[in-house]
Amino acid sequence: MSATHFQLDAQGRLQHFLTIEGLTCRHLTEILDIAESLHGVAERRVKKLPTLHGKTVVNLFFEASTRTRTTFELAAKRLSADVLTLNIATSSAVKGESLLDTLRNIEAMQCDMFVVRHSQSGAAEFIARHVKPHIAVLNAGDGRHAHPTQAMLDVFTIRRHKPDFPSLRVAIVGDILHSRVARSLIHALSILGTGDIRVIAPRTLLPAQVENLGVRVFHHLPEGLRDVDVVVMLRLQRERMEGALLPSEQEFFQQYGLTEERLALAHPDAIVMHPGPINRGVEIDSRVADGPRSVILEQVTNGIAVRMAIMSITLGHHARPVGEEV
Amino acid sequence: MQIVIQGGRVIDPAHHIDTVADLFIADGKIAGLGQSPAGFIPEQVIDARHQVVCPGLIDLCARLREPGQEHKATIASETRAAAAGGITTLVCPPDTDPPIDEPSVIEWIRRRAKAAGQARVLTLGALTHRLRGERLAEMAALKEAGCVGVSDGGQPIGNSRVLRRALEYAATFDLTVFLTPLDPELSHGLAHEGQVATRMGLPGIPAAAETGRIARDLELVRDLGVRVHFGRLSSARSVELIIRARAEGLPVSADVAVHHLHLTEMDLVGFDSRCHVCPPLRSLRDKDALRAGLVSGAVSAICSDHQPHESDAKQAPFGDTEPGISGLDTLLGLSLRLTRDGVLPLTTVIERLTCGPARVLGLDRGHLGVGAMADVCVFDAEAEGLLESTMLRSRGQNSPFIGWALPGRVTQTLLEGRVVYAREG
């Protein structure tokens, strides 16, 4: 049984959130609509909803993260859940405790939701298959496989600027090979009917047969950027030079770095996105990252509402802000 | 002890025999077929009516986990599983702990196998000291101690100079060299490089990791004339290379693991760690080519590539699990499924499990000729049942074939004329 079906219950409702692949347009639109209605909560004097009051959310981070972990924490707190964050990369896993043992122990603390980040592809699904049935598992990034909440906040951000997906041209630029963000975003964009999804990268940073995911492949940045409405830049890890995937950061920036001149090839009101953290001068020039077309910080803000929406859906509560009371 | 196996369909591919007849066994050897030998008085009669009687199976690659990994399995536990699966001879690669790079380890394994008394365990010696791919192992001494060949033990030798010299040195002592065709630098991944790995975000192992090595090794064989056996082919292109090399008269052979004849990269979907194997499960096209290679004879043998694991070894996210399938219990059933699926006639399946692997080993085994060692497997080819985990006799329960309908039910296994397995009921 694949993760696609595994994360849905018999009625086709999300009980976990592990991957975008295989979800329907209705699932995605529901998340986006609820996130939209929650978006205003942060603007209020009291930034809280009672939706997950009395619930315990555990962030299980087997891999370092700041942004994702923090926004998940905030999202849970704004829904009034109790939140516990465990950085397991630096605790029991090092002492030789197996993943299942770690899970059993945390499960014994009577939690309702696990937010999981792990360096191995499939880790979130593995955990979802082994936890007690009442626990919802959210994938906060597993290896190169999926980062579905990031993809949702990306399409949420896109929709706020450019709501007509069928007419959109979206380019994803950089290290597609190692990117769970790219894989999940490609699935989300296809499900929403995006007209033209492009990936732009040297061949060493593209996975085999990537075109089968429904994307057009470009190796030449100026050609790939022509007339696009959305540019998504990916982070380039420094260790890619050691793996003989690239000669140098300088050459990568020259060939694939996003500069103002290159951005000028895109549609005049194109937006620029990046999942962060950004490497200035490696994949993106500071003037673009901080420029008027950049929605990078908006993505971070939107991440909270989107994660609130996903948390409330998977725990079976459809959060809608009603009054100001807690 | 004199035994007669009565009324079975005797299939002995080495002698092109497929006939209903009685098989006579005396003093651990085959004494006759059809006609009772003069003065033969059976002490035991085995009723084999409606059953197939064939040579005991020979498995070219089975990890018994002893010495060194007794928490996974032991020689006693795995030879018992072999006997129940109709397998009478197991070939154990040298990557034990300590590795089989000195005569005392061979002697130790032989003693353990003899004490267990369930199956014959043959050993492959190490090509290099500690399998490190740096210095040669004492192959002459290993041969004297009884190893049937030498091998890299699943840890391919990276250094071409060392490999070439190891091949030459092995040839000096007329040893067949068993190689694992995988380029270590191209095989860090977890799955076949292709669209399934791409979707699942699993690092890929390209087919060229295998074919590149085979192509180079074939050139070394051409230079040196040494006998080389390639274990566990996984890709279509590898089969082509072997076909061409054999057509040119190079002394090479190859086998395939039975799971590669049934599973593909698609079986990884859902991150099923039981399908985590090395070499990886490849595309449907590769699977079909491996089957075709088996039909044409380019691939000489089917093996189990048995790798039993404790359950913890598979209970983790895919990339953190250990590769390998527990295969002794299913070797015969999965091979017979090829007949059921119309891929190979029954006699050919048996050939690839008996005299095919015997020929690779250069041993006068795997047949039922008069005077041969009486290693015999009797099975009901018509019986078919769903495989349940409780039916696995191996200590390793890591099989992706649980729930599969597998034809064939072993009823008797004889090792040197002694019944080592008899099905109850």
pLDDT in tens, B40-59: 999 999 999 999 999 999 99
Across the interface, whether the CB atoms of B200 and A99 are under 8 A apart is answered no
**Where do we find the tokens 């990252």?**
A289
* Cα distances (Å, whole numbers) of residue A235 to A182, A183, A247: 11, 14, 16
pLDDT for the residue A321: 62
CATH of domain B2-52+375-422: 2.30.40.10
Nearest chain A residue to B201 by CA distance is A145
Size of interface A-B (CB pairs under 8 A): 76
Which comes out higher in pLDDT, residue B402 or A44? B402
**Which of A123, A208, A210 is closest, CB to CB, to B317?**
A123
A213 contacts in B (CB within 8 Å)?
Answer: 198-199
The second-level CATH assignment, the architecture, of B55-361 is Alpha-Beta Barrel (3.20)
B317 contacts in A (CB within 8 Å)?
Answer: 99, 118, 120-123, 126, 142-143
pLDDT for the residue A1: 43
Torsion sign, CA atoms B99, B101, B102, B105: positive
Question: Mutate which of B186, B196, B199 to test chain A, going by most A C-beta atoms within 10 A?
Answer: B199
A60: left (phi over 0), alpha (psi -120 to 50) or beta: beta
The string over B47-64, giving b where at least 16 C-beta atoms fall within 10 Å of a residue's C-beta and e elsewhere, is ebeebbbbbbbbbbbbbb
pLDDT at A322 over 60: no
How far is it, in rounded angstroms, from Cα B360 to Cα B373? 18
User: Does the bond joining A277 to the residue before it have cis omega, within 30 degrees of 0?
Assistant: yes
pLDDT for the residue A54: 93
Question: Mutate which of A100, A145, A183, A242 to test chain B, going by most B C-beta atoms within 10 A?
Answer: A145
Nearest chain B residue to A20 by CA distance is B199
What percentage of chain B has pLDDT greater than the value 90?
Answer: 99
At A275-312, the pLDDT tens digits run 999 999 999 999 999 999 999 999 999 999 999 999 99
**Which of B193, B202, B270 is closest, CB to CB, to A121?**
B202
B271 contacts in A (CB within 8 Å)?
Answer: 3, 121-122, 125-126
- The answer, for A62 touching chain B at a CB cutoff of 8 Å, is no
pLDDT for the residue A324: 42
**What mean pLDDT is predicted for residues A80-86?**
94
- One-letter identity of residue B59: D
At B140-165, the pLDDT tens digits run 999 999 999 999 999 999 999 999 99
pLDDT at A198 over 90: yes
**Where do we find the tokens 């996105």?**
A273
Nearest chain A residue to B195 by CA distance is A209
- The answer, for A120 touching chain B at a CB cutoff of 8 Å, is yes
pLDDT at B89 over 90: yes
Q: Which of A166, A120, A172 lies closest to A145, judged by CA?
A: A120
Q: What is the mean pLDDT of chain B?
A: 97
At B292-346, the pLDDT tens digits run 999 999 999 999 999 999 999 999 999 999 999 999 999 999 999 999 999 999 9
Distance from CA of A79 to the nearest CA of B (A): 30
Distance from CA of B205 to the nearest CA of A (A): 10
- One-letter identity of residue B398: N
Residue B114: CB atoms within 10 A of its CB come to 11
Residue A6: pLDDT band by 50, 70, 90 thresholds?
Answer: confident
pLDDT at A94 over 70: no
Distance from CA of A204 to the nearest CA of B (A): 13
Residue among B305, B312, B341, B364 flagged as catalytic: B305
* Cα distances (Å, whole numbers) of residue B16 to B11, B24, B249, B291: 8, 18, 24, 22
Distance from CA of A14 to the nearest CA of B (A): 17
Q: CA triplet A289, A290, A295: central angle to 5 degrees?
A: 70
Segments of chain B assigned to CATH 2.30.40.10: 2-52+375-422
Torsion sign, CA atoms B308, B309, B315, B321: negative
Residue A214: CB atoms within 10 A of its CB come to 13
Cβ-count burial of B420 within 10 angstroms (0-12 exposed, 13-18 middle, 19+ buried)?
buried
**What mean pLDDT is predicted for residues A48-52?**
91
pLDDT for the residue A91: 58
**Which of B201, B318, B320 is closest, CB to CB, to A180?**
B201
Is position B305 annotated as part of the catalytic site?
yes
B199 contacts in A (CB within 8 Å)?
Answer: 21, 183, 213
Residue B246: CB atoms within 10 A of its CB come to 17
Across the interface, whether the CB atoms of B201 and A142 are under 8 A apart is answered yes
* Cα distances (Å, whole numbers) of residue B402 to A51, A231, A254: 43, 47, 54
Which residues of chain B approach chain A closer than 8 Å at the C-beta?
Answer: 190, 193-195, 197-204, 206, 269-271, 312, 315-320
3-state secondary structure of B220: helix
At A231-255, the pLDDT tens digits run 999 999 877 777 889 999 999 999 9
Distance from CA of B271 to the nearest CA of A (A): 6
Residue B244: pLDDT band by 50, 70, 90 thresholds?
Answer: very high
At B377-397, the pLDDT tens digits run 999 999 999 999 999 999 999
pLDDT at A58 over 90: yes
Q: Are A73 and A101 in contact (CB under 8 A)?
A: no
Residues whose CB falls within 8 Å of the CB of residue A47, separated by 6 or more in sequence, listed in order: A41, A78
For β-strands B418-422 and B405-415, DSSP reports them as antiparallel
Written as six digits, the tokens of B64 are 């018994």
- Ranges of beta strands (E only) in B167-243 are 177-179, 191-192, 204-205, 228-230
Q: Which of B348, B411, B346 lies closest to B377, judged by CA?
A: B411
Nearest chain A residue to B315 by CA distance is A100
At B112-140, the pLDDT tens digits run 999 999 999 999 999 999 999 999 999 99
User: Does the bond joining B279 to the residue before it have cis omega, within 30 degrees of 0?
Assistant: yes
Distance from CA of B322 to the nearest CA of A (A): 14
3-state secondary structure of A271: strand
**Which of B204, B271, B318 is closest, CB to CB, to A208?**
B204
Model-wide pTM > 0.90: yes
Helix (H), strand (E) counts: chain B: 11, 18
The structural domains of chain A, ordered by start, are: 3-146+301-314 (3.40.50.1370), 148-295 (3.40.50.1370)
How far is it, in rounded angstroms, from Cα B161 to Cα B153? 18
Segments of chain B assigned to CATH 3.20.20.140: 55-361
How far is it, in rounded angstroms, from Cα A47 to Cα A45? 6
Written as six digits, the tokens of B20 are 């209903």
Distance from CA of B204 to the nearest CA of A (A): 8
Residue A325: pLDDT band by 50, 70, 90 thresholds?
Answer: very low
A1 contacts in B (CB within 8 Å)?
Answer: 270
**Which of B190, B202, B271 is closest, CB to CB, to A126?**
B271
- One-letter identity of residue A320: R
- The answer, for A126 touching chain B at a CB cutoff of 8 Å, is yes
User: Does the bond joining A222 to the residue before it have cis omega, within 30 degrees of 0?
Assistant: no
Q: What is the mean pLDDT of chain A?
A: 92
Question: Mutate which of A209, A210, A212 to test chain B, going by most B C-beta atoms within 10 A?
Answer: A209
A142 contacts in B (CB within 8 Å)?
Answer: 201, 317
Across the interface, whether the CB atoms of B201 and A213 are under 8 A apart is answered no
End-to-end CA distance of chain A: 41
Give me the DSSP letters along A239-253: GGTTTTS-S-HHHHH
- The answer, for A20 touching chain B at a CB cutoff of 8 Å, is no
pLDDT at A318 over 70: no
Report CA Rg, chain A: 19
Residues whose CB falls within 8 Å of the CB of residue B357, separated by 6 or more in sequence, listed in order: B58, B59, B60, B91, B255, B300, B301, B303, B366
- One-letter identity of residue A41: V
**Which of B195, B201, B317 is closest, CB to CB, to A126?**
B317
- The answer, for A8 touching chain B at a CB cutoff of 8 Å, is no
